[in-house]
Amino acid sequence: MPENSSHAGEFHRDTRYINDRIVSDLPPGSPPVLTPDGHYLWPVESGRYRLIGARACPWAHRAIITRRLLGLDSVISLGLAGPLHDSRSWTFDLDPHHKDPVLGIHFLRDAYLRRFPDYAQGITVPCLIDVTTGKVVTNNFQSITEDFSFQWRKFHHHNAPQLWPKDRCEEMRELMEWIYNTINNGVYRCGFAQSQHAYDTAYEQLWSALDVLEDRLSRQRFLMGSFLSEADIRLYCTLIRFDAVYHNHFKCNRNKISEMPHLWGYLKELFQIPAFGETTDFHQIKQHYYGVHSDINPTGIIPQGPDLSPLLQPHGREFLPGSVFPSEAGEPDRS
C-alpha cells in the first residue's frame, strides 16, 4: 500500500526513521549515549546486534549485500522476515514455528514496541536489533549501510571492497540522492501514483535517469569508475527487480532492463558476484509485490515469468578497466 499520497496524486514515502547510529568510538558493552539532537549512539560490538531484513525488500537487500561484501557475517547476525506481511508487521514465517530463533518473536513490531511502546511510524526492514534487550536500535536504511563501511571497519574482511572512495564521497552522495529520487523511489512513484499527471511525471524522470546511466555505463565499469561502490549496491537492488516486477506491476514499461545493453551487462556482472546473486530471491520478490499490493493486483496472481536465466550468461564488460576487489586488479588497499 502507498505510504502517503498528496492531493496531486503523487506518492510520497514516509521517511521518518529511528536515526540512532552504531559507532566505533564507544567502548564495547557501554550503554547508548544521548546526543544533543535527541538520538542515541550505540557502540560497535561483535555479536550484540542482529540485522533483520527480507529478501523481497530492495531497501533491506542493500544491507544484506553490504554485510556480506564486507565480511561482517560473523559479527552481525542476520534474521530474515518472509515476503508477505499484513498491516501489523513483517513476520518470521520462514523460521520454525514462525519465530525468529534469536529474538524469539513472531512479529518484527515486537522489537519496535519493546523500545517505543507507542511507536506510530512504519515497522520497516532493514533494522538493527540489540540482541541483549530485544529492542530496535535503528531502521534508517541509508545510514545502516554507510555505518557498515565506516564504523565497522575493524571487522571487515581483509580484501573487502572500499565502497566509499574517500576522495569522491560527496560526489557519490549526490549521485545516490539522484538515483534514489528518480529510480529507487521513482519506480514506486510510478506504481503508486494516484493521478495520470503524477504517473507521467515519475515515468519520464525514471526513464530519463535510466538513459543517463545507460550512457554512463557504456564508458565505465561501475557507477563511480573502475571499482564497486555503495552506489552500485543501491542501484542493483532496483535494477534486479525491474523486469520481474516494476516493468509490469508498477507500469514502468517503456522497455526492460534486458533491452538496454550496457545496464543489462552491468546488472549481469553484479548478479554474478556471490554477495549479490546469492542473496537475490526472485520467488520471494514476486511473492511480495504481487501478493501484498492488493490495490494494484487484486487477484493476487503471481506471474511465472520472465525468464531470468540470461543473468548467468557472460556479461561482456571485460573491455572496461576495473574490478570488484582491489587485489584482483593488482591495486593497493584503498581504505
Residue 90 marked in a binding site? yes
Q: With contact defined as beta carbons under 8 Å apart, do 16 and 42 qualify?
A: no
Q: Is 173 helix (H, G, I), strand (E, B) or coil?
A: helix
Closest CA to 102 of 44, 49, 155, 46: 49
| 57 in catalytic set | yes
C-alpha to C-alpha distance for 65 and 318, rounded to whole angstroms: 23
DSSP assignment of 15-27 equals: ------EEETTS-
Catalytic residue among 49, 112, 188, 203: 188
Q: Is 235 helix (H, G, I), strand (E, B) or coil?
A: helix
The grid cell for 289 is 509485490
| Length of the chain measured in residues | 335
Phi, psi angles (nearest 5°) of residue 80 = -120, 120
C-alpha to C-alpha distance for 102 and 148, rounded to whole angstroms: 21
DSSP assignment of 38-87 equals: S-EEEE--TTTEEEEE-TT-HHHHHHHHHHHHHT-TTTSEEEE--S-B-S
Q: Are strands 77-80 and 127-130 parallel, antiparallel or unpaired?
A: unpaired
C-alpha to C-alpha distance for 4 and 11, rounded to whole angstroms: 6
Q: With contact defined as beta carbons under 8 Å apart, do 83 and 284 qualify?
A: yes
The grid cell for 157 is 574482511
Q: With contact defined as beta carbons under 8 Å apart, do 17 and 140 qualify?
A: yes
| 190 in catalytic set | no
Q: Is 225 helix (H, G, I), strand (E, B) or coil?
A: strand
Q: With contact defined as beta carbons under 8 Å apart, do 276 and 163 qualify?
A: no
Residues annotated as part of the active site: 57, 188
Annotated binding site: 90
Annotated binding site for glutathione: 90
